[in-house]
A and B are shown apart, each in its own frame.
Chain A
């Protein structure tokens, strides 16, 4: 219990630091949002009125606490560019990025767990060498190039998929799913390589343990020992690594969504940057960072519940 309280306190402190760093960094950015919105021809009194309306004339620290209070209560402010609340702006993209991420995780698991277990089972033999080569390639191929290659083969070459865009969920789940499939595969590639590696070394470690010998001695076959006993015990480190991979999944989605022109969170934040829509950048960045920290916190906690020895640190 003490462990959870301490981790929670650390989480809150880190969240607070993150929020303040993001806020103050993006506040010192040169440029005047009011001037950006109205253009250089705007009259001085119009600019002043807009600055008041946006709250830009109040002191920095007051704006910080005002923003923080809003953020905590779910008020993410108003986009400078689109003049709509940020919460509204991120709502639709969430339903692209989250399904995309979940699909990528599913693909990652389906590919990496069997490959990792197979490599460990045939350690040093041909399957192991092949899997090791595949993981090295998976780590080396940047996912945006892999995405481009997928478009080249499956969209331009075979014509099975559109080369980008998203029809929306109202077009039916099948079409939406189809639009997300290639992006999810390219997002999953580096993750699958990492998870396969972790699975392999974790399975190898468990294979060395006494209970495996016992299972074999009581007459279980090699493969039933592997799938029933070893894999389950090898899952703890794998699940931990998978938790931390969310971070990279979110980051990867920024690029991959741009390759496939998917209207997700990654594309939104990227557009906000090119349009200098600071309110959107600030809030979405802090939101993503908070999500990542909360996921890492939950992974830590669940890991500690599974394995009590870790609570002492």
Chain B
């Protein structure tokens, strides 16, 4: 068992490191639901802006709140927003891409033009416009990320699905009288599922960055909700007094993003070992 694990670690370090980082962030997020060292929003003005100590491992913020507790709750929010947004975007985008590949013709053409349009808008710019439309907070942030995720999965699913449609077993299913919906769900989707999962993993990484960025700008999550991006913005105003405040939230964002990116790479290599040699 350990030998097998070591072999995997040697062959595919991305998978192992990514997996460990993601598990760590997830453990923090889930753990924070049950326990944090201190209540994350408990203020104590006498303890404000402390450097890390035995009692406060990551120090305290300008209101004397425990940074570690906030980081843990921040993990929960970062994952919640990113995972939910990518799930919505992947489901809608995947479905639209499958439909475009199955129907072809003008449906596909319109779909691709809409994707072009969505691509022209950088994620952050689109998220900002959506915040202008829908206001600030968790729901607009999730919607904004979901909306720019749709075309990513739409294009990917369409391209991969078209390839599968040309395979002999699909032709066999068609001669058997199966409809486009049946073929898309039973034959195409299982064949492109791996690809979509790999994309979802890296897309979660991007979603974490965008959520943090929006919250940094003040148009993402709103207090009392805790976001790593928001913590960073607040740290910047107190940076000369307490530099460590600016370190931990950013470090967490970077580790979470690194974890999901590596996990995505690792899963891709594991699913398709041929690709590894080409890279």
Chain A residues near B (Cβ < 8 Å)? 10, 13-14, 17-18, 21-22, 25-26, 29, 136-137, 139-142, 144-145, 148-149, 151-152, 156, 201, 247-248, 250-252, 254-255, 258-259, 269-270, 273-274, 276, 281, 285, 288-289, 292-293, 296
Contact = CB atoms under 8 A, between A and B. Distances in A.
A26 B129 CA distance: 9
A156 B124 contact: no
26 contacts: A17-B113, A17-B114, A18-B120, A137-B258, A139-B261, A141-B250, A142-B212, A144-B212, A145-B246, A145-B253, A148-B246, A148-B250, A152-B239, A152-B243, A152-B246, A156-B239, A250-B122, A251-B125, A254-B125, A255-B124, A255-B216, A259-B216, A259-B236, A273-B131, A274-B219, A292-B122
Contacts of B116: 10, 14
B250 A289 contact: no
Contacts of B213: 142, 144, 255
Interface of B: 113-114, 116-117, 120-125, 128-129, 131-133, 205, 209, 212-213, 216-219, 229, 232, 235-236, 239-240, 243, 246, 249-250, 253-255, 257-258, 261-262, 279
A142 B261 CA distance: 13
Nearest to B122: A251
A255 B219 CA distance: 12
Nearest to B17: A136
A140 B254 contact: yes
Nearest to B121: A289
B268 to A, nearest CB: 14
Given A18-B120, A145-B249, 16 more contacts: A10-B113, A14-B116, A136-B262, A137-B258, A141-B254, A142-B212, A142-B253, A148-B232, A148-B250, A149-B250, A152-B243, A254-B125, A259-B216, A270-B217, A289-B125, A292-B121
A269 B249 CA distance: 26
Nearest to B253: A142
For the complex of A and B, the 6 pairs showing the least CB-CB separation, nearest first, are A251-B122, A145-B250, A140-B258, A140-B257, A251-B124, A273-B132
Given A17-B117, A142-B212, A156 B125 contact: no
A26 B133 contact: yes
B243 A292 contact: no
A104 B209 CA distance: 20
A250 B126 CA distance: 12
Contacts of A248: 122
